[in-house]
Amino acid sequence: MLWRGGSERIKSENYSQHFRNRQNNNPQNEGFFKFLYSEIATKVQQFVERDSHQTGHERLNVNFDHNLRTGTIQFEHNTMRFTLYDLPCVIEMMKTLDNKTVYKIADLCQMIVANVPKHEPRKEEPEEVGDAKLERYQWPDGICPPLKNVRRKRFRKIKKKRYMDVADVERELKRLLRSDLEAVSVRWEVVAATEAEDVEMKQTQPTNEEVASQHDDLYEYGLSLSESEDEQDPADGSRTFVQRHSDGRIVAPSAVDTLAAFIFIGGIPRSGTTLMRAMLDAHPEVRCGEETRVIPRILALRAQWKKSEKEWKRLQEAGVSDEVLNSAVSAFIVNIIVGHGAQAPRLCNKDPFTLKSTTYLAELFPKAKFILMIRDGRATVHSIISRKVTITGFDLNNFRQCLQKWNAGIQIMYEQCNAVGRAKCLPVYYEQLVLHPERVMKRLLNFLNLPWNESVLHHEMFIGKDISLSKVERSTDQVIKPLNLG
Q: Which residues are catalytic?
A: 291
Residue 354: name the closest of 418, 412, 306 by CA. Answer: 412
Q: Are 337 and 280 in contact (CB under 8 A)?
A: no
Task: Give backbone dihedrals phi and psi of 95, rounded to 5 degrees, phi first.
Answer: -130, 140
Number of Cβ within 10 Å of residue 6's Cβ equals: 16
Q: Is 371 helix (H, G, I), strand (E, B) or coil?
A: strand
Q: In one letter, which amino acid is 476?
A: T
Sign of CA dihedral 170, 171, 172, 175: positive
Q: Are 30 and 62 in contact (CB under 8 A)?
A: no
Bridge partners, residue 35, by sequence:
113
Q: How far is CA 408 from the centre of its chain?
A: 11
Residue 266: name the closest of 243, 229, 295 by CA. Answer: 295
Strands of the sheet containing 346-350, edge to edge, are 286-287, 346-350, 263-267, 369-374, 425-429
Q: How far apart are CA 421 and CA 4, in angstroms?
A: 74
Q: How far apart are CA 433 and CA 441, in angstroms?
A: 8
Q: How far apart are CA 322 and CA 302, in angstroms?
A: 10
Helices (H), 124-224: 131-136, 150-153, 166-182
